[in-house]
Structure 1
Amino acid sequence: MRVLLTCYPANVHLYPIAPLAWALQSAGHEVRIGTHLHGGFADALTRTGLITVSLGDPNDPEPVLRPDARMSAMPDEVDAYAKIMGLNPDEREHWICFYQYLINPISEYLRPDLPYADDLVEFARTWKPDLVLWDPVFAPGAVAAAASGAVHARFLGSMLDWPGFFHNRLEEYRTQLEAAGLVANPFAEAMRPLAERYGVTVDKELLFGQWTVDPLPDGIRLETDLPKLPVRWVPYAFAETSQPWLLQRLERPRIALSLGESMRRVVNGDFGRTPKLFEALADLDVDVIATLNSRQLDGVRRIPDNVHVSDWLPLPQVLPTCSLHIHHGGSGTAMPAVASRVPQIVTDTDESNMLRRVTAAAVTGAAMTSDEIEYDEAAAAAEAVWELPAKHMMAPWWSNYVVKYGAGVRMNYQTMSVEEIRKQILEVLHGPSYRAGANKLHDIWLATPSPNEIVPALERLTAEGRSRI
């Protein structure tokens, strides 16, 4: 069969889906990946060895960086939804991840005035895929499937199913939300203009596919009423030359420190996390491999003698040689540790995931909650600044997960002293219970069907879906 995959143009979205794309291709199916090949992402796709479909102009920036890009919702608007829907604290954090972080990148690639969706629909109508597997953050895949007569399903990748989790709740409170002047279903309204252009009905199937392929493990994924096909997350990195020094016999434990793929491109100093971690690690009888770039090292006065810094090393090579992984809480750093049976320390904080819009004069670099800021629209209009929270949006859920199974701990690096951080590192590094917990997570991972093993299910579901078209 012919399978078209869509991928938001970022490595963190490509890594999870590449093993499944290769599993399909290795089984004899024709596979294409459609995306916006902006900047260096064209090289990233080429290195997968898969055939890609270029959408739009590769010289154009990502739509979220355009001057006319949609702005993130103000905190008071985010909270208005949360109050009307009666969200508890955990649900509110999930809502922030969906409404403040995801709805913008989702919406920008759905815009009918930009070429990406039209290019994808045109390709699908010409190539005629049997199955479209689409990234929820690159949702034109759903419209392309419907417009070309293909069966379609979502591939969740590194994120929780926030759109699916809130769909029923938004519908339940539709009347109250509309009475408050709020859009009742932001995802549906983002999809509607493109769908109407191609005569496609905006219903639950269009928004969430006929089923969802979910690579996050049982115990962390959000429960919804949508049909799910679990798949094992296979750690993936681009083809790299083997590093023999990683396999040399170690005289003392090795610790990996990795703070992610996304923020390393835009945040200088990593919110002060790196200097504090280096100070805590400096006096320990360990070897540390820190996969950090120059932005993440900004503010570091001295790299300790026991720390080896490399701008890039593939975690599937590094982690099997390590006894502990310290990371920022992204799925792309947590899952390789699960696959390698390595205990984890997740650097999470107490502050909300919410983006905050403040005046330039108010930005101090310190953590602030939305309740601590006065919102004066007139004053903010001239010098508004969006301030990122000092945490990854998946960090709370990964820290909860590793703690639940005894595979690691949560580190609040903002409130803990260097001595407390050092003590916590030694506890996890040398505590046998954490190794046992890491083995539990590995067993859950190994019990999940691999990409190769779900190919027959994808073939069956596609055939069943096509028989109903």
Structure 2
Amino acid sequence: MRVLFAGPPFFGLLYPMVPLAHALRAAGHDVLVATCGAAVGHSERAGLVAVDCAPGIDPDALYARMEKAKGDRKPSAPGERGEAPKGKGFSFFSDEMADRMVELAEDWRPDLVVHTPLGVAGQLVAARTKVPSVLHAVGFGHTSAHVRMINNTLTPAYERHGLDGPEPVAAWLDVVPPSMSTTDEPRRWFMRYVPYNGGGRLPEWLTANRRSPRVTVTLGTVRPVVDGVSPVKWVVDAARETDAEFVLALGGSDLSDLGELPGNVRPVDWIPLGALLAHSDAVIHHGGSGTTLTALDSGLPQIVLGEGADRPANAAAVRARGCGLVPDGTGDLTPALVQRLLTDAGLRAAARDAAREMAAMPSPAETVQRLVELARTGGELR
């Protein structure tokens, strides 16, 4: 079987699909990643074969510029804006990739297309080549209404390729714990979220014995580019009053806005988040889908800042499960909040329970045979 993975060119939307791609390859199937920008290199380093479907553009820079241009407007959660007008809005570079991706698929002839909620170029390709498409969800914030909204921005591309619009997805892979799922999409399959954050060499200090708790602090890969590191300045201030080690995993960002760091704050350039959390006691983060799910998988209590894009939905799910804290405003950003994160037994018990639930979900390897059957029946499997 040949499986085309189509996705927008961002870490947080590409990496969640990598474990399924590896599972398919391990089972003997052919996998090809269609994306653009830096995601092509990320795919290569993940051991996957990739094609650049929009040569010459820098999606990261363009997206960061667009986000900065929003100024002080409060971002909406996915789906809150309603349906986008036909052919209007931001396609997350699906429009830029659509023509080259269709050409690629017509030459390579996949049996199945896997895409994320924002990677709707994959849904167009599946409709054009008449093969089933599988939506690989990435968090708590995306619904079929949101996917329709993004598809509406591709109306000109559908017309260019002689299509009226997308076909329904043949399966919707939901990777959140079933008890936390906020969607009930048709043909939903639960699949375990397996953290993939790239490879890396672990430093000696990470695995050495430590005398105090360790708190990992991260803003993911997009937010530091857009907002800088100021959203975690309060954590640095709290660290001065907290007997704990704080690891600032901010991707090598400029930390000058944080001032002089106290001795118990350790900045790092890049350590795979799953491995870092395996040697931590708690996590403070922005609320990105991949970070939230990796934190849930780790069984650690978390503070979720949850501002912008799908982050409010991810934060709300964590708070509802009782395994994390979500500040209601800047007045909540205090050393007392960090102390509660480290000492609240209820938070830790709920976090461990969520991790156990995730571990019991069908793995990507167990999902492969269902996908094979889906392709064999042309998407008619229920």
Could you state the TM-score of these two structures normalised by the residue count of structure 2? 0.88
Q: Which residue of 2 aligns with 1:314?
A: 272
What is the identity percentage for the equivalent residue pairs of Structure 1 and Structure 2?
A: 26
Q: Which residue of 1 aligns with 2:23?
A: 23
The one of 49, 52, 60 aligned to 2:50: 52
Give runs of ≥4 in structure 1 deviating > 6 Å.
Answer: 71-76, 97-100
Aligned-partner SS, 1:426: helix
Superposed CA deviations along residues 308-351 of structure 1, whole A, max 9, x for unmatched, are: 11122211111111111111111221222212211111124xxx
Q: Which residue of 2 aligns with 1:363?
A: none
Q: Which residue of 1 aligns with 2:361?
A: 448
Contact 1:16–1:158 at 8 Å: present in 2 too? no
Is 1:161 aligned to 2:134, yes or no?
A: no
Matches within 5 A, 1:393-432: 393-412=309-328, 414-416=330-332, 421-432=334-345
Report how far residue 31 of structure 1 moved.
0.5
Q: Which residue of 1 aligns with 2:305?
A: 347
Report how far residue 287 of structure 1 moved.
1.1
Contact 2:12–2:288 at 8 Å: present in 1 too? no
Matches within 5 A, 1:45-194: 45-57=43-55, 59-62=56-59, 65=62, 93-96=77-80, 104-106=89-91, 108-110=93-95, 114=96, 116-158=97-139, 160-162=141-143, 164-165=144-145, 186-194=149-157
Q: Which residue of 2 aligns with 1:263?
A: 223
Letter in 1 for 2:17: I
Superposed CA deviations along residues 26-76 of structure 1, whole A, max 9, x for unmatched, are: 01100000011x2x433212111001122131x22339939xx9x999999
Contact 1:327–1:333 at 8 Å: present in 2 too? yes
CA RMSD after TM alignment: 3.1
Q: Which residue of 1 aligns with 2:189?
A: 229
Report how far residue 275 of structure 1 moved.
1.8
Superposed CA deviations along residues 405-460 of structure 1, whole A, max 9, x for unmatched, are: 3212112452236xxx2112112212222211111111221122111111111111
Residues 456 and 234 (structure 1), Cα distance of their counterparts in 2 relative to 1, 3 Å cut: same
| Cα separation, 2, equivalents of 1:238 and 1:74 | 32
| Cα separation, 2, equivalents of 1:298 and 1:286 | 22
| Cα separation, 2, equivalents of 1:449 and 1:263 | 31
Letter in 2 for 1:329: G
Unaligned ranges ≥5, structure 1:
80-91, 168-184, 349-390
Residues 395 and 266 (structure 1), Cα distance of their counterparts in 2 relative to 1, 3 Å cut: closer
Unaligned ranges ≥5, structure 2:
none
Contact 1:274–1:296 at 8 Å: present in 2 too? no
Contact 1:107–1:191 at 8 Å: present in 2 too? no
Aligned residue pairs, count? 376
> Which structure has the higher relative contact order (CA within 8 Å, separation 6+)?
2
Q: Which residue of 2 aligns with 1:84?
A: none
Q: Which residue of 2 aligns with 1:244?
A: 204
| Cα separation, 2, equivalents of 1:74 and 1:316 | 33
Aligned-partner SS, 2:153: helix
Larger Rg over CA atoms: 1
Residues 435 and 225 (structure 1), Cα distance of their counterparts in 2 relative to 1, 3 Å cut: closer
Matches within 5 A, 1:282-293: 282-293=240-251
